[in-house]
Amino acid sequence: MIYYPEETKSFKQLCGDVDAAYKTCSTLRETRLAAVKEYVGRNYAQNGAADSVPMNLLEFAVNTYLRQLVAQNPQVLVTTKFPELRPAASMFESALNQLLTEIDAYTTLKTAVLDAMFGVGVVKVGMSEDAREEILGHTHVVGVPFMDAIDIEDMYFDVRATRFDQQKFVGHRYCMPKDLAMESGLFENAEEAFEQYETRMRTNQNGSIKEVFDPDGHPDDEDDKTVTILELWLPHTNQIVSVLVDPMSCKIVSDKPLRIEEWTGPKNGPYYYLGFIDVPGQLLPNNPVSLWVDQHRFMNASMRKLMRQSSVQKDIFTFQSGDEDDAERVAKAHDGQTLRSDNPNAVDVKKFGGPDKDNLAFLLQFKQQFSELAGNLDSLGGIAPSANTVGQEGLLAEASNRRVMEMQDRVVAFTADVIRGIGEHVWSAPAQSVLVQRKMEYQGITLLDNALEWPNPGRDDYPEDLREGPFENYDMDIEPYSMAHSSPSEKIAALDAVLQNEILPNAQLLAEQGLFIDFRRVAEIKSHYLNLPELKEVLIDQQGTLQQPNEPSGQPTFTGGKAPGAREVKHNYEGVRNSRAQTNNAAEQLMKDTPSDG
pLDDT tens figures, 139-166: 666 667 889 999 999 999 999 999 999 9
- Bridging pattern class, strands 556-559 and 434-442: parallel
Which whole number is the average pLDDT over 221-247? 85
Its domain, for residue 226, covers 1-25+118-275
Considering only residues 198 and 401, tell me which one the structure prediction assigns the higher pLDDT: 401
Higher-scoring residue by pLDDT: 408, 136: 408
Cα angle, residue 387 at apex, residues 384 and 388 outer, rounded to 5°: 155
Cα 328 off chain centre by = 64
Q: What is the pLDDT of residue 487?
A: 67
pLDDT at 554 over 50: no
Specify if 181 maps to a domain: yes
Query: Residue 62: inside a domain, yes or no?
Result: no
pLDDT at 573: 32
State the amino acid at position 56 in one-letter form: N
- The whole-number average pLDDT for the span 57-82 is 87
Examine residue 106 and state whether it is found in any structural domain, yes or no: no
Q: What percent of the chain has pLDDT over 90?
A: 32
Q: Which helix (H) or strand (E) holds 21?
A: helix 8-24
Please tell me whether the peptide bond between 219 and the residue prior to it is cis, using omega within 30 degrees of 0.
no
Structural domain includes residue 36: no
Q: Which residues contact 116 (CB under 8 A, 6 or more apart)?
A: 274, 275, 276, 285, 287
Last residue of some domain: 275, 302, 332? 275
List pLDDT tens digits, range 455-497.
777 767 677 777 776 777 665 555 655 666 666 777 888 888 8
| CA–CA distance, 371 with 314 (Å, rounded to integer) | 34
What integer pLDDT is reported at residue 273 of this predicted model? Answer: 97
CA distances 223 to 192, 193, 274, Å, are: 18, 18, 37
Residue 445 has pLDDT above 60, yes or no: no
Of the pLDDT bands very low, low, confident and very high (cuts 50, 70, 90), residue 209 is low
- Burial (CB count within 10 angstroms: exposed 0-12, middle 13-18, buried 19+), residue 521: middle
Q: Of 97, 115, 177, 112, which Cα lies nearest the Cα of 147?
A: 112
Q: Where among 231, 251, 275 does a domain terminate? A: 275
Domain boundary among the residues 259, 275, 291 is at: 275
φ, ψ dihedrals at 458, nearest 5°: 65, 35
User: ∠ CA(76), CA(268), CA(108), 5° rounding?
Assistant: 45
What are the distances in angstroms from CA 264 to CA 15, 238, 267, 421? Answer: 23, 8, 8, 12
Q: Is the pLDDT of residue 578 over 50?
A: no
Does 552 score more than 50 pLDDT? no
In a domain, 582, yes or no: yes
Q: Please give the Cα distance from 331 to 449 (Å, whole number).
A: 82
Task: For residue 255, tell me if it sits in a domain.
Answer: yes
Tell me, rounded to whole angstroms, the distance of Cα 413 from its chain centroid: 14
Looking at residues 406-424, what average pLDDT do you find? 90
Ramachandran bin of 206, using left for φ above 0, alpha for ψ from -120 to 50, beta for the remaining angles: left
Counting the structural domains of the chain, the total is 2
The stretch 375-383 carries a mean pLDDT of 77
- Look at residue 485 and give its three-state secondary structure: coil
Task: Give the model's pLDDT for residue 278.
Answer: 95
CB 165 within 8 A of CB 268: yes
Q: Which of 38-42, 50-54, 582-586 has the lowest mean pLDDT?
A: 582-586
What's the pLDDT tens digit per position in 89-108? 888 888 888 888 888 999 99
Q: Is 70 exceeded by the pLDDT of residue 349?
A: yes
Please indicate, yes or no, if residue 498 is contained in any of the structural domains.
yes
Stated pTM of the model: 0.74
Per DSSP, what are the bridge partners of residue 77? 479
Weakest mean pLDDT among 119-133, 497-511, 519-533: 119-133
Residue 102: predicted pLDDT:
87
Mean pLDDT of the chain: 77
Q: Is the peptide bond before 455 cis (omega within 30 degrees of 0)?
A: yes
Q: Report pLDDT for 570.
A: 37
- Cβ contact 126:270 at 8 Å: yes
Q: Residue 293: inside a domain, yes or no?
A: no
Q: Which of 235, 228, 273, 271 is nearest to 251 (CA)?
A: 228
Per-residue pLDDT, 224: 54
